[in-house]
Amino acid sequence: MSSSSVSIQALHTFGLPVFAERVISAETQEQLCDAWQQAAQEQRPAILLGEGSNMLFLEDFSGWIILNRIKGINVRESEDFWHLHVGAGENWHELVCYSLEQNFSGLENLALIPGCVGSSPIQNIGAYGVELKDVCEYVDVLNLSCGDTSRIAAEDCQFGYRESIFKHQFREGYAIVAVGLILPKVWKPVLSYGDLRQLDAQTVTPKAVFDSVCEMRSSKLPDPKVTGNAGSFFKNPIVSAETAARILASDPNAPHYPQPDGQEKLAAGWLIDTCRLKGHRIGGAAVHQQQALVLINLDNATPQDVTALAGYVRNQVAARFNVWLEPEVRFIGRTGERNAVEVLS
Ligand code: FAD
Ligand code: EPU
């Protein structure tokens, strides 16, 4: 067995001091397949990595990390839409900026989300009233064992809240190599969330929405270049109407968002905040002061600090509200992904 020798601290946004055996950067589909198949031949575990902004490495990874760096943006026009075919290794926020420069609107609510375009369908990234599913036309997926590519239409991607087919049927042994986006030429601003409600729907521009989103995000979310983090650590829990009613009876101000099936989505940040956990610290990890849903690497945190803090937060919220939070962040152990709830239980 080969030893873990390459630092991957700079390859994930939590910035934890962890190592992998090998890191390979793939700029083409062939390179992705070659790296994957070589790892299999040498019986080494392998994982794909975009920009590591939704990952928690629990320990050193005793295998190969394959960075998806396939680039390129192609634009096609139809009567009513712009169609963008984007290489999976493009940076998401740079794509949002590029689209605005070209006067293609529709991505502005999704500004400043870290990570690669190829990762965006996996958890159906979402912010400020828009999700990837609202702008996605298709996803191109490569079978890493045989090299075949298939195009999956958006309606077949099983998109849901932080959910898609890429967390299930296409989770292991497949790489997303391109994403097709479809942006209507007639812009319909989405102004339903937070400070965006203050904008005037008659006069607002895509750039004004972009600026407002960037301002809201910068005021709450820590910049991973300064303070390590992986965005929202937990998902917002979707609970029964009865559970929501019980919480609202004692806390009438609890934010809650009705779901189409009669359930309610609660704000995990509010639940954690209400347990007075902002700023709570274990070792070098802490709950962010401006947004309780974000756990940060405050001061040379170790993976154990982060999991101890996450477990503590989860137990405190359950003790007070009888709601168990589930991590949004993907947990990676020595040989591959681990079930995050099991790790914290
Ligand atoms: P990574 O973390 O590198 O990978 C995520 C998962 O995808 C891993 O399991 C990896 O193995 C797999 N993977 C990566 N690339 C591929 C590929 N090409 N093919 C197949 N599998 C692959 N998310 C939101 O939805 N909304 C937000 O508002 C938001 N805000 C954030 C703010 C901050 C400050 C941070 C740090 C994160 C935030 N996130 C948000 C989470 C994160 O930005 C998204 O999940 C993003 O899509 C992750 O992209 P990535 O390239 O970094 O993926
Ligand atoms: N809240 C508090 N205290 C806190 C944090 C939040 O009371 O410490 C309250 C807010 O006042 C608000 C509600 O909780 O009433 C929701 O907060 P916010 O608008 O900040 O959004 P969120 O639900 O915490 C979600 C996404 C974010 C996304 C924002 C904006 C999840 C898990 N998180 O956060 O996505 O940017 O909405 O749309 O769905 C991510 O996934 O990594 C992420 C950052």
Local confidence pLDDT in tens for the 345 residues of the chain: 455 599 999 999 999 999 999 999 999 999 999 999 999 999 999 999 999 999 999 999 999 999 999 999 999 999 999 999 999 999 999 999 999 999 999 999 999 999 999 999 999 999 999 999 999 999 999 999 999 999 999 999 999 999 999 999 999 999 999 999 999 999 999 999 989 999 999 999 999 999 999 999 999 999 999 999 999 999 999 999 999 999 999 999 999 999 999 999 999 999 999 999 999 999 999 999 999 999 999 999 999 999 999 999 999 999 999 999 999 999 999 999 999 999 999
Pocket of ligand 1 (CB under 6 A): 13, 47-55, 68, 88, 113-116, 118-120, 122-123, 125-127, 175-176, 221, 224, 229-231, 330
Span between the terminal Cα atoms of the chain, in Å: 31
Nearest C-alpha to atom 43 of ligand 2 is from which residue?
Answer: 232
Pocket test of ligand 2: the residue of 216, 232, 257 to mutate, having most ligand atoms within 8 Å of its CB, is 232
Residue 94: φ, ψ to 5°: -65, -35
Nearest C-alpha to atom 10 of ligand 2 is from which residue?
Answer: 270
Exposure letters 130-151 (e unless 16+ CB within 10 A, then b): bbbbbbbbbbbbbebeeeeeee
Give the burial class of 193: count Cβ atoms within 10 A of its Cβ; 0-12 exposed, 13-18 middle, 19 or more buried. Answer: middle
Pocket of ligand 2 (CB under 6 A): 127-128, 193-194, 220, 231-232, 235-236, 255, 267, 269-270, 273, 291-293, 328
**Tokens at residue 82, please?**
């712009």
Angle (CA) 48 181 10, round 5°: 30
Nearest Cα residue to 49 out of 85, 17, 22: 22
Nearest C-alpha to atom 25 of ligand 2 is from which residue?
Answer: 127
